[in-house]
Chains A and B, each alone.
Chain A
C-alpha cells in the first residue's frame, strides 16, 4: 500500500470530521438541543452510506478511503456515548435510553437499507 493512500486517509479523515461538525450544528440548530438529534442524524446517515459502500463490494484501497476514512470519521461513537451519559446524569433517563435504542435500531436498519441499495446499483 502506497504512502499516497495513507496521506489520503489523513486528509479525508480530517475533512470527514469537519463535515460531521457542520452537519451536527446544522441539524441541532433546527431540531433543538433537548435531544442529541445532530449526532443521531450524522450517525444514521453515515450508516446508510457505509452500508451502501459495503453493498458495492469495493476494492481494498477504495473501501479504506471511502469507508474507513470518510464515513468512519464522519460518524462518531464517543459523542453518542457522551451525550447519553450526560442525559442520564441530568436525570433524563427516558431520553438516554431512547438515544441508545433509536440509534442502534435505526443504525442497523440504515446499514441494511444502504447495503440493499448498493447491491442493486
Chain B
C-alpha cells in the first residue's frame, strides 16, 4: 500500500466547501455575486446548520467553564467537526457520484454549524485578558494542530478505503 500513490490519485482542487455553488466558466472574472443556489440546497444548509448548532449549544450549556480553564466544549466540537468535514468532503469529491445536497447538508450545514471560530477567538481573548497567556497560546496551538490533523487523518482514511476496492 503506497501512500503517495493514493494521495496523487485523488487530490482535489484547493477549494472550499462552497466552491461548487459558483464554479463555472464565468467565475474567473471578479464580480460581486451571491452564490447560485436553489431552494433545496439552501434548505439542506439550514437543516444541517440547525442540527450542528443545537449539538454545539447543548454541549456549551451542559459543560460551562471558567474563562481561565480549558474550553472543552468548543475544543471538542471543533475537532470533531474538522474530522467529519474532512471525511465528508473527501468522500463526496473523490468517491461518491456528484450529489447536489449531501455537501450542503453535511459539510456547509452540519460541520459549519457544529464548529465555531468566533467563540474560540473570544475564549482566547478572555484568557489573554485574565493574564493566562500560556493557556491562550496552548489552546490556540492545540486547536489548530488537532484540527489540521483531524482533516488530514479523515482524508487519508477515505483515500485508503478507495484504493482497496
Contacts and interface: CB of A to CB of B under 8 A. Distances in A.
Contacts, number: 243
The dominant DSSP class at the B interface is helix
A59 B116 CA distance: 21
Contacts of B78: 77-78
B69 interface: no
A118 to B, nearest CB: 11
A104 interface: yes
Contacts of B15: 33, 86
A29 B22 contact: yes
A26 B118 contact: no
Contact of B11 (A68, A82, A89, A103): A89
Contacts of B32: 26, 29-30
B54 A83 contact: no
Nearest to B28: A32
The dominant DSSP class at the A interface is helix
A77 B53 contact: no
Chain B's interface size range is 35 or more
A51 B125 contact: yes
Interface in B16-42: 16-19, 21-22, 27, 30-35, 37, 42
B158 interface: no
B17 A79 contact: yes
B119 A82 contact: no
Contact of A86 (B14, B27, B115, B143): B14
Interface of A: 1, 6, 9-18, 20-22, 24-26, 28-33, 36, 38-39, 43, 46-47, 49-51, 54, 64, 67-69, 71-87, 89-90, 92, 100, 103-104, 107-108, 110-112, 115
Q: Kindly list the 9 A-B residue pairs having the minimum CB-CB distance in the complex, ordered from nearest.
A: A13-B53, A17-B49, A25-B35, A14-B50, A14-B46, A77-B115, A75-B117, A81-B147, A50-B118
